[in-house]
Amino acid sequence: MRILSSFVGGRGHWGPMEPIGRAAVRAGHTVRVACGESMVSQVRQDGFEAWPAGPDFGGGGIRRPLIKPDQDKEDRDLRDGFADRAARIRAAHLLETDWRPDLILCDEVDFGAMIAAEVLGIPYASVLSNASGSFVRASVIGEALNEVRADHGLPADPGMEMLSRHLVLSPFPPSLRHPGFPLPPSARTFRAQDVVEAKPEEPTIYFTLGTVFNTESGDLFPRVLAGLRELPLRLIVTVGPYIDPAEFGPQPEHVRIEKYIPQHETLPQCSLVVSHGGSGSMTGTIAHGLPTVLIPMGADQILNAARAADLGFGRILDAFTATSAEVKATVVDVLDDRSYRQAATRLRDELADQPDTVHAIRLLEGLVERQR
């Protein structure tokens, strides 16, 4: 089976797809990857053949000021950036390639890949990349996508059935999904990473703002850092590839700041995670049964954070207004209240019960066989 693995975005979009790709290769299948220019080197380092297909949402390391989180703005960005501009460009790029796959495996906002698959008459499966499930809505993206569909001679899709036409793979615990946006009938859950109970040798906090929004965070890093380093706990901070840890100046002995540390190396040592609420960071947090303090800035983070608060495993702070003292006090409250850890453990156990990537490969193989 020849699989084109296609995603539009950064590590958070590639994260749940990479282990499926590895499992496919182990099963004897051929996998090639189409992604933004900024992710090509990372995908190649992970052992896959990759080529760039625009546009690129990696940010390129440009530092930007923090703007006030606004869900209406994020909806417009999803519609104009992903459902209109990206879908047009990616559909064209994928249809131009001479390499013809048996199946396209794409992340859930790579709408152009879905359209390309329809034009080619091959099946496709999407991998969910938005944890709460309430970010990608037909009411937001439908009109723009129908215009792109029309450009390729495809009929209008008023109900946006294209989003779940063949197979949807979800790497999240089902109860994490917003009840107002249930999984479609074609959805199947799987486990994209190991589930490991965190057992820190000493109380430890991990703080990250991801690998895209970190450069759009303004003064948020130093503000949060100033509050966290006052706590008598070990603190691990990752700032991403485009920020120099040295710019934060000398730190106390209990504070470690790095550009990047893999989550699977860091989270088993932790007691709590402070993050922006990106779906990748949230999945890692859940996989280790950790409570969290969330400081959302954009994309799906606002909705993810609200869901974490609803389920009782996280607290939310306003990225625009939160003070260092407020960060410190909130972290202490969450650590002292065992109910947050208990809620996180329930989600971890739910994730642990989901089948692994071998199951996902069998589903993909069945999808191709039925098409044949």
Do 138 and 55 sit in the same domain of this protein?
Answer: yes
Assess contact for 7 and 22: CB atoms under 8 A: no
- 76 in any annotated domain: yes
Phi, psi angle pair for 194, to nearest 5°: -70, 145
Residue of 171 and 214 predicted with greater confidence: 171
Segment (H or E) for 117: helix 111-120
- 198 in any annotated domain: no
Radius of gyration of the chain (CA): 20
Q: Which domain holds residue 65?
A: 2-191+354-371
- Amino acid 103: pLDDT: 97
Do 187 and 260 sit in the same domain of this protein?
Answer: no
- Amino acid 58: pLDDT: 63
Query: Above 90 in pLDDT, residue 319?
Result: yes
Do 145 and 238 sit in the same domain of this protein?
Answer: no
Do 45 and 91 sit in the same domain of this protein?
Answer: yes
Residue burial 186-216, b: 16+ Cβ < 10 Å; e: rest: bbebbbbbebeebebeeebbbbbbbbbbbbb
- 197 in any annotated domain: no
- Amino acid 298: pLDDT: 86
Do 210 and 262 sit in the same domain of this protein?
Answer: yes
- 40 in any annotated domain: yes
pLDDT single digits (tens) 29-80: 999 999 999 899 999 999 999 999 978 876 567 788 888 888 899 999 999 9
Q: Average pLDDT of 162-173?
A: 97
Complete DSSP assignment for 290-305? --EEE---STTHHHHH
Query: Above 80 in pLDDT, residue 262?
Result: yes
Do 120 and 169 sit in the same domain of this protein?
Answer: yes
Do 187 and 322 sit in the same domain of this protein?
Answer: no
Do 262 and 249 sit in the same domain of this protein?
Answer: yes
Do 71 and 143 sit in the same domain of this protein?
Answer: yes
Band of pLDDT at residue 11, cut at 50, 70 and 90: confident
pLDDT single digits (tens) 199-252: 999 999 999 998 888 888 889 999 999 999 999 999 999 998 889 999 999 999
In this structure, the number of other CB atoms found within 10 A of the CB of residue 138 comes to 15
Do 337 and 364 sit in the same domain of this protein?
Answer: no
Do 10 and 128 sit in the same domain of this protein?
Answer: yes
Amino acid in position 16? P
What CATH code is carried by the domain that includes residue 141?
A: 3.40.50.2000
> Considering its fold, how many domains does the chain have in total?
2
- 342 in any annotated domain: yes
- Amino acid 214: pLDDT: 85
Assess contact for 11 and 42: CB atoms under 8 A: yes
Do 325 and 358 sit in the same domain of this protein?
Answer: no
- 199 in any annotated domain: no
- 196 in any annotated domain: no
Complete DSSP assignment for 22-56? HHHHHTT-EEEEEE-HHHHHHHHHTT-EEEE-S--
- Amino acid 192: pLDDT: 94
pLDDT single digits (tens) 123-162: 999 999 999 999 999 999 999 999 999 999 999 999 999 9
- 364 in any annotated domain: yes
Query: Above 80 in pLDDT, residue 292?
Result: yes
